[in-house]
Every structure is written in C-alpha cells, then in structure tokens.
C-alpha cells in the first residue's frame, strides 16, 4: 500500500470519528460585596439643649452605673451633667466608662458651687429654685431631665423621652385626679418656663418642696402645659399603681430604701414591676438570699 493511500485513509477516519468536546474554563465576573474597615467617629452628636442632670454630693458607688444606664436608655442626643462635691467628682473619675464619656463630650462633671449646698431636702429645694442654676449653670439647656440614684429608666419601655418634650413639667404621679404636679426625683422640666417663674417669684425657705412649688406655678403659667396625674402614669411611677399603664421609669425614695406599698406591696405587684423593669433591681438595695427566699442559696450563703 502506497504512502499516499495510507494518508488518505487516515484523513477519512479523522473526519468520520465523533469529535470529543473540548472543555474550557469560563469565568464570569460578579460584583462581590466588599467590607470596609474605615475608622469612624462613634461619639454621639450631643444636643446641648437637652440635659440629663444627676446631683450627688456624697461618694456613691451607684453614681457611675446609674449614669451609664441612663445613657444607654435615653436618646443618644441627650447631654449628661453630673454635679457633685470634689470628692464625688474625683470618685466618678475612677470609672473608665465615665472618663470615656467625658472625653467623648457626652458627659460633663461639675462641682457644686462653694456657696451652695444640696446636703438635705430643703437645701436641694433651694438649689432647684435658684434662678442662677437655670440661667447660668445649665445654659443653654431648654429641657432638663432630673434623675437620682434611686430612680431608673426601663430598657423595655415603649415610649421615648423625647415624646414628652411638649410638657413644661412631667414627673411621677402623686394622684391620678391631680391637674398638675408630680414627684421631682425623676422629672422632665422645660427650662425657659421655669425661668419665667423664677424671674418673678421666689420660694420662701421652709415652704413646699421644690417639685410642689414649681408645678403649682407652672400649672398657672399662661401658655404652660403640665402633665396631669393620669398622663404621668406613663412617665414615672412612685406611689401610684396602674393596672393598665407601664411607666417609662420608676422613682423609689431615700436611696431606694423606701418602696411605696401601692406599687410594691404585694408579691403579684412586685412580680409585675420587676418582670417588666428588672433594671430597677440595680437601685434597690437587695440581699439576694432574702429576695430569692433561700430557695437557691441558703445552703452555701451566710
């Protein structure tokens, strides 16, 4: 067989043979998500017209935790001010969280003026009815949330503090039938309205406590609006119980050592209050062994 014939047969066989498909990798371009780790400024933007004020001249281990909790619950634009004695301010500075908040501009620590005192209820009433406090010390605040180490805001609350800013004053209800007035231990005040009163009237030493004195006058202020006792049920609870309304916060009394029987007087009420607002346990002195009835701890606790 000639070489030419062999080449012809080989060519015919190649043409007739089934072709084997070639496999070629094909890559399509997809826009994959990217993660950027750009440094950002996480410090809150503080509104200087909204001030949350805590006054405490004693060294207290509750001050830093209370401020921290309120910072976590209140709207982030609120500015916090702590007003205390030199010893109390120095003690606040031992907390890394407080130092960080001061550096971020969210918290300011100030000394109580040397010519003023908050050592007792009468002294606090004099302080909170002094025109200079509102015009100078707290300037440029327009809304003032006054709170104490025996008060708390509930993390589960459905309402927001900013939704109460249309009132000149709202505190903890004294009576659901009252037209105005409420406990000042956890209260919201419109500073410009308080200034209007203090420019024309002066509280006499030894008269009503400041919350009664201020709300009585705000209630008669032309154009003023003070929350009534029923409206206040949704803001703060102190001594008035409601089956239907859960408050935004609670105020106890005397450093948390006094719990009003109307609110805490039965196991069912305590279960409801602490179940809804376990935050309250932070400011109420408790011996856990007693609180739990010894069911869990009595065998090993003293």
The domain locations on the chain are 50-284
Residue that has been written with the tokens 């509750």 in this structure: 62
**pLDDT for position 3:** 52
User: 205-245, pLDDT tens digit by residue?
Assistant: 999 999 999 999 999 999 999 999 999 999 999 999 999 99
**Region of poorest pLDDT, from 24-28, 222-226, 259-263:** 24-28
Q: Which one has a higher pLDDT value, 124 or 37?
A: 124
Mean pLDDT within 262-285: 93
pLDDT at 14: 54
Q: How many CA atoms lie within 13 A of 280 on its CB side?
A: 27
Residues 53-76 pLDDT 10s: 999 999 999 999 999 999 999 999
Q: How many helices (H) and strands (E) does the chain have?
A: 11, 9
- DSSP lists the bridge partners of residue 56 as 84
Is residue 28 scored above 50 in pLDDT?
no
Chain segment 173-199, per-residue pLDDT in tens? 999 999 988 999 999 999 999 999 999
Contacts 24+ apart (CB under 8 A), 58-65: 58/85, 58/88, 59/87, 59/88, 59/91, 60/88, 60/91, 60/149, 62/149, 62/282, 62/283, 63/88, 63/91, 63/92, 63/149, 64/92, 64/95, 64/97, 64/98, 65/282
Instruction: Provide the 3-class DSSP secondary structure of residue 195.
Output: helix
Is the pLDDT score of 4 beyond 60? no
CA distance 86 to 114: 10
144 in Cβ contact with 168 (< 8 Å): no
Range in 21-30, 105-114, 128-137, 147-156 with the lowest mean pLDDT: 21-30
**Residue that the structure tokens 């007087």 belong to:** 265
Smallest Cα–Cα separation from 258: which of 195, 201, 183, 192?
A: 183
Average pLDDT over residues 82-94: 98
> Could you tell me the pTM of the whole model?
0.82
* Rounded Cα–Cα distance for residues 96 and 187 (Å): 28
Cis peptide before 140 (omega within 30 of 0): yes
50-284, what's its fold? Spore Coat Polysaccharide Biosynthesis Protein SpsA; Chain A (3.90.550)
Asked if residue 286 has pLDDT above 60, the reply is yes
Average confidence (pLDDT) over 265-276: 94
pLDDT score, position 284 = 87
pLDDT given at position 221: 94
């Amino acid at each position: 067989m000639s070489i030419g014939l062999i080449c012809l047969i080989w060519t015919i066989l190649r043409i007739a043979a089934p072709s084997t498909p070639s496999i070629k990798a094909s890559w399509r371009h997809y826009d994959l998500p990217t993660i950027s780790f750009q440094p950002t400024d996480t410090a809150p933007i503080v509104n200087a017209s909204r001030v949350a004020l805590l006054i405490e001249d004693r060294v207290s281990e509750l001050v830093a935790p209370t401020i921290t909790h309120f910072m976590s619950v209140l709207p982030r634009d609120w500015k916090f001010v702590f007003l205390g004695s030199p010893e109390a301010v120095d003690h606040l500075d031992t907390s890394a969280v407080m130092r960080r908040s001061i550096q971020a501009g969210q918290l300011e620590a100030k000394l109580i003026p040397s010519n003023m005192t908050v050592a007792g209820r009468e002294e606090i009433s004099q302080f909170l009815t002094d025109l200079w406090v509102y015009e100078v010390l707290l300037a440029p605040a327009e809304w003032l949330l006054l709170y104490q180490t025996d008060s708390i805001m509930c993390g589960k609350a459905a309402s927001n503090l900013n939704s109460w800013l249309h009132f000149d004053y709202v505190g903890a209800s004294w009576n659901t039938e009252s037209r105005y007035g409420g406990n000042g231990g956890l209260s919201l005040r419109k500073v410009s309205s308080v200034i209007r009163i203090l420019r024309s009237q002066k509280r006499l030493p030894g008269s009503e406590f400041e919350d009664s004195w201020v709300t009585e006058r705000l209630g008669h202020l032309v154009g003023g609006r003070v929350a009534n006792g029923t409206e206040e049920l949704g803001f703060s609870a102190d001594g008035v119980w409601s089956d239907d309304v859960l408050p935004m916060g609670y105020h106890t009394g005397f450093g948390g050592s006094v719990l009003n029987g109307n609110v805490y007087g039965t196991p069912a009420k305590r279960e409801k209050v602490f179940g809804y607002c376990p935050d309250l346990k932070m400011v109420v002195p408790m011996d856990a062994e007693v609180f739990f009835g010894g069911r869990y701890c009595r065998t090993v606790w003293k």
